Amino acid sequence: MAISKLNFNSLNVTPSASSAIGFDSGADDLETGAGGGSMVFIKKLTASSSGTLSFVDGSSSVVLDNTYKEYVFIFNNLHSSSNTGLFQVNFSVDTGSNYNVVKTSTCIQAYHLEDDSEAALGYAGSYDLAQSANFLTLNFVSGTDNDESTSGVFTLFNPSSTTFVKHFISRVQGTEGSGYSMDFSVAGYGNTTSAIDAVQFKMSTGDIDAGTITLYGIA
């Protein structure tokens, strides 16, 4: 009988879920891997009046373990339902049962008002944490006008390590309701040597009305 289509087990390579098929480094065999690049899409969550958006390893196709040494979350047009809501993050070491990892962090803030009456750069001591398990603020309050939102990039390094504390770097750009352009740069570490296996985002008050958060692994 003629071969009409090759099935998954027709190739001389061990199948690996969701992995691409490519040539190996010697270009003389096949292997599985990320394919043509190193930034691998893992999961997108879309807010719809959401109290929280959570990425839990092993749940809903989320990978947040030792598969990657670096994870990147991209925030795109997160729209707050409340004009007093601060966009925040916390971590879990028990697959989402508790989001309460102790953190120490820094925060620098730049802002500029649309009417040019205010502009400044400074350390934002109100938004840093010192050995606190509270949620960490990643941006000042976001305006609730229809065209206002928050976007940015959050990087979590080696969350599965059981040796090191967990470093993170965040930069978020947003519009504040009074007409400010807000640039928040936050960095710090989760002061735990347990593996972080879940990350949760929320507003300090109100919901994440709309927007997306997308998780990538850096292979």
Given the rule CB under 8 A, which residues bind another protein?
A: 3, 5-8, 15-22, 32, 34-41, 44, 61, 74, 76-77, 79, 110-116, 119-121, 146-153, 171, 173-175, 179, 181-183, 185, 212, 214, 216
Q: Which residue has the tokens 């309050």?
A: 141
**Residue 99 beta carbon to another protein: minimum distance, rounded to whole angstroms:** 24
Q: Which is nearer to another protein, 20 or 130 (CB)?
A: 20
Q: Which residue has the tokens 């030792």?
A: 66
Strand partners, 218: 39, 70
Q: Which is nearer to another protein, 178 or 193 (CB)?
A: 178
**Residue 195 beta carbon to another protein: minimum distance, rounded to whole angstroms:** 23
Q: Which is nearer to another protein, 47 or 101 (CB)?
A: 47
Sign of CA dihedral 96, 98, 102, 103: positive
CA distances from 37 to 20, 205, 219 (A): 11, 39, 8
- Amino acid identity of 136? L
Q: Which residue has the tokens 């994440």?
A: 208
**Residue 8 beta carbon to another protein: minimum distance, rounded to whole angstroms:** 5
**Residue 202 beta carbon to another protein: minimum distance, rounded to whole angstroms:** 20
Q: Which is nearer to another protein, 182 or 198 (CB)?
A: 182
Q: Are 72 and 135 in contact (CB under 8 A)?
A: no
Q: Which is nearer to another protein, 102 or 169 (CB)?
A: 169
Q: Report the SS3 class of residue 29.
A: coil
**Residue 100 beta carbon to another protein: minimum distance, rounded to whole angstroms:** 29
Residue 15 exposed, middle or buried by CB count within 10 Å (0-12, 13-18, 19+)? exposed
Q: Which is nearer to another protein, 64 or 93 (CB)?
A: 64
Residues 6+ apart with CB under 8 A from 212: 44, 45, 46, 47, 75, 76, 77, 78
**Residue 85 beta carbon to another protein: minimum distance, rounded to whole angstroms:** 16
